[in-house]
Structure 1
Amino acid sequence: MPNSPYSAAQAARHALGQRLKEIRKSNGMTARAFAARAGWSESKASRIENGKTFPADADLRAYAELCGAPEAYPDLLAAAHGIEGMYVEWRRLQRDGMRHAQQAHVSLYERTEHFRIYEPSVIPGILQTRNYARAIMGTISAFRHLPDDVDAAVDVRMRRQHILRDAGRRFGIILEEAALRARFGNSDVMAAQLGHLLTVTSRQQVSLGIVPFTVNRRMWPLEGFWIFGNEQVLIELATAQVTVKQPSEIETYERMFSELVSIARYGKHARALIAEAIHALG
């Protein structure tokens, strides 16, 4: 992953240009012939294909239709629209503290009916207790030297959890066993958090799976990611939040989630793993 929003966007622009070049070449057209058909100068096609000029929606449609690949247009459009906001450093997103970043996703949560969530090392925010959320947000805030608005950010996170009570939504959640064992707050905070997980598993709209340490893996541990319906995927890295909106990339995350589902433990087996983690607190 490039180390700045600028370099990430530049790399994505270049990749999009190369993809357009491949679409043109697969149709057997030279850049000059394509430009003539599109009514462009040859230099415009060259600038777009080399990532120096960002294509407009009409330019993308021209590549798709004139090169005999109209089915590629929706994917090209989604890729282009997602590039500018695809990689946002936490220091930009959280420059005024953590509350703003929490509030920014409220509308996305409200309009999503199907959530698929994977977390390798922490309990996801939608399942967190107030004290656990305060402990983990406090740790992040201190490490990143953010303005101290942890309590306000926790309030936003707690309010967002009302969607869990909506029987019309579906939540597929997979945790690595490590997420049950990583301690944030004292033993009482962790015991309450793990007890809350046991309560959540009884809700019909929530499917909670745990991937045990000892499982024979068919999918390697990944960065945490959230799939919001078929609209987008959010991935949290150490330095940035990545947004994926390209349908083909969303499909890849859906496939990875399905593989994780196949190795996770559910029902009484998941509850047993949670109970073991509670017992280990002493």
Structure 2
Amino acid sequence: MAPTARCGPEPRRALRWVVGAARKHVRGKIGSTLRELRKASGKEAKAVARSAAMSASKLSRIETGKIAPTAMDVDRILTAIGVPDEVRAGIVETARREATEATAWRLYRRSGFHLHQDAIRAVEAETAVQRIFQPSCIPGLCQTPEYVRAILSTKGLTEQVLSQTIGARIQRQAVLFEPSKSFRYVITESVLRWRLLSPLAMAVQLDRLITLSRLPNVRIGVVPLSTHTAEPPSSSFVVFDNRLVIVEIPHAEVTTSEPRDVELYLDRFDRFERAALFGDAMREMAGRIRDEFFREQESAPE
């Protein structure tokens, strides 16, 4: 019989014991593992669910095995419980192997796009360094409300859900102003020129990008179209520290915490980062394109 783990002077020892037992005896039963870890921590389900940015009913369904959690779900739950980093990685990896790694966008529409934004915000809250390579649009944390609406309007959302999702994404942007966190973004020149909005709105969006690039913890680079690169830009991706990658493809979002996969995307990011312009050179390029949009707006017929 397993000893009863209580919230006492040695909660970490209880957590380690449960994790060890889970690895040996309940591989494939992620839900029950998470439930035992939560009980060992002494935390209530509602408190864990709130910290993990999910509903209490979803946490209950995960713990009872009624739904399979994604690797990101498991990572957020373990973080909310307070499981040490050295044991969290192994459980997340087990979840990654057992869960479906690709989540279709239609499933996010069904469960609520704004809730997905809350889930990403929870991951960002536990991330020290976020890296993004984006060949198709402005990174989400840098988008103006108008730009967010233009991006999400292709997802088939109702006006109510669209407004909720825009609000949730804007809320996420506050994390940019936390000096303890670092943001490294690389985009292509085509992102600056892609006309998702009116010329004036595009100029405002580029102005915001330039402003954010001056924050000491935000590093934004642009790969010029004239730059020779050994590989073409393809899908956008986000790397959270060196533990989690989210890749966006047309029909789905792919999540992986497999170390070899994470390393692959870190290497890919580094290659594009070396080809990018930063600092004043980036701001000069973005400023020229912004001014082109301003002039186009001014010359437009009334």
Corresponding letter in the other structure for 1:82: R
Q: Which residue of structure 2 aligns with residue 69 of structure 1?
A: none
Indicate if the aligned counterparts of 1:125 and 1:133 stay in contact, CA closer than 8 A. Answer: yes
Q: String of CA shifts for 1:61-101, please: whole Å, max 9, x gaps.
A: 9xxxxxxxxxxxx9987654213141111111221442122
Match of 1:106 among 117, 121, 127: 121
Match of 1:156, SS state, is helix
Identical columns (%): 27
Corresponding letter in the other structure for 2:284: A
Q: Which residue of structure 1 aligns with residue 141 of structure 2?
A: 126
Match of 1:136, SS state, is helix
Match of 1:183 among 195, 213, 217: 195
1:166 maps onto 2:181 in alignment: no
1:226 maps onto 2:235 in alignment: no
Q: Structure 1 residues 146, 75: CA separation in 2 closer, same or farther (over 3 Å shift)?
A: same
Q: Which residue of structure 2 aligns with residue 263 of structure 1?
A: 275
| Offset, 1:134 | 1.6
Measured in 2, the distance between the counterparts of 1:251 and 1:278 equals 35
Measured in 1, the distance between the counterparts of 2:206 and 2:167 equals 20
Q: Which residue of structure 1 aligns with residue 96 of structure 2?
A: 82
1:209 maps onto 2:224 in alignment: no
Q: Structure 1 residues 204, 91: CA separation in 2 closer, same or farther (over 3 Å shift)?
A: same
Look at both structures and tell me which one has the larger radius of gyration over its CA atoms.
1
Match of 1:107, SS state, is helix
Corresponding letter in the other structure for 1:108: V
Which consecutive residues of structure 1, in runs of 5 or more, have no partner in the other structure? 1-55, 62-73
Instruction: Output aligned runs, 1:236-247, within 5 Å.
Output: 236-247=248-259
Measured in 1, the distance between the counterparts of 2:89 and 2:114 equals 33
Match of 1:235, SS state, is strand
Indicate if the aligned counterparts of 1:96 and 1:147 stay in contact, CA closer than 8 A. Answer: no
**Relative to structure 2, which stretch is displaced further, 92-101 or 233-242?**
92-101
Q: String of CA shifts for 1:213-233, please: whole Å, max 9, x gaps.
A: 000103320210000112200
Measured in 1, the distance between the counterparts of 2:229 and 2:292 equals 24
Match of 1:154, SS state, is helix
Measured in 2, the distance between the counterparts of 1:263 and 1:57 equals 43
Q: Which residue of structure 1 aligns with residue 157 of structure 2?
A: 146
1:277 maps onto 2:292 in alignment: no
Superposition RMSD on alpha carbons, in Å?
A: 2.3
Measured in 1, the distance between the counterparts of 2:107 and 2:237 equals 20
Corresponding letter in the other structure for 2:140: G
Match of 2:118, SS state, is helix
| Offset, 1:182 | 1.0
Equivalent pairs counted in the alignment come to: 212
Measured in 2, the distance between the counterparts of 1:181 and 1:146 equals 26
Q: String of CA shifts for 1:171-218, please: whole Å, max 9, x gaps.
A: 100001111011222112111100001101111101111000000103
Q: Structure 1 residues 240, 193: CA separation in 2 closer, same or farther (over 3 Å shift)?
A: same
Q: Structure 1 residues 205, 147: CA separation in 2 closer, same or farther (over 3 Å shift)?
A: same
1:94 maps onto 2:109 in alignment: yes
Indicate if the aligned counterparts of 1:210 and 1:265 stay in contact, CA closer than 8 A. Answer: yes
Q: Structure 1 residues 185, 97: CA separation in 2 closer, same or farther (over 3 Å shift)?
A: farther
| Offset, 1:152 | 1.0
Measured in 2, the distance between the counterparts of 1:223 and 1:160 equals 22
Match of 1:252 among 232, 253, 264: 264
1:200 maps onto 2:212 in alignment: yes
Match of 1:151, SS state, is helix
Q: Which residue of structure 1 aligns with residue 52 of structure 2?
A: none
Q: Structure 1 residues 77, 104: CA separation in 2 closer, same or farther (over 3 Å shift)?
A: closer
Q: Structure 1 residues 60, 273: CA separation in 2 closer, same or farther (over 3 Å shift)?
A: farther
| Offset, 1:164 | 0.5
Q: Structure 1 residues 231, 75: CA separation in 2 closer, same or farther (over 3 Å shift)?
A: closer
